[in-house]
Amino acid sequence: MDYKKILLKLDEVAELSPGTLNGTESIKDWDSIAIISIIALADEDFNKSLSAKAIAQASTVNDIVTLLTA
C-alpha cells in the first residue's frame, strides 16, 4: 500500500476528513480508541501484530506508517 493510501486509512482511524494528515502530526493526543483502531488496521490491512506499547512509543503519524510498513 502506498504512503498516501496509508495516510487516508489513518485519517479514518483518527476520524479526520480524508487528506488531513501529512505525516508530521503528533499522535500523543490520540485517544485509546484510535490506538485500538491502529492495532486493528495493522492486523486487517497489513497482516501485522502491533502492541499498544509499540504505538505508544511512536511520536508522529510517520512513526505509525513506519510501524505498519516495516
Q: Where are the domains of the chain?
A: 3-69
pLDDT recorded at residue 67 = 95
- E strand or H helix at 16: none
Which amino acid type is present at position 25? E
Please check whether the domain covering 3-69 is classified as CATH 1.10.1200.10.
yes
Q: Give the chain's end-to-end CA distance (angstroms, integer).
A: 12
- For residue 55, give the 3-state DSSP assignment: helix
Cell numbers describing residue 55: 504505538
Q: Pinpoint the alpha helices (H) of the chain.
A: 3-13, 32-46, 52-56, 61-69
Q: What is the pLDDT of residues 5-62, one digit of tens each?
A: 999 999 999 999 999 999 999 999 888 899 999 999 999 999 999 998 898 899 999 9
- What gap in Å lies between CA 52 and CA 36, rounded to an integer? 8
The answer to whether the predicted template modeling score (pTM) of the entire model surpasses 0.85 is yes
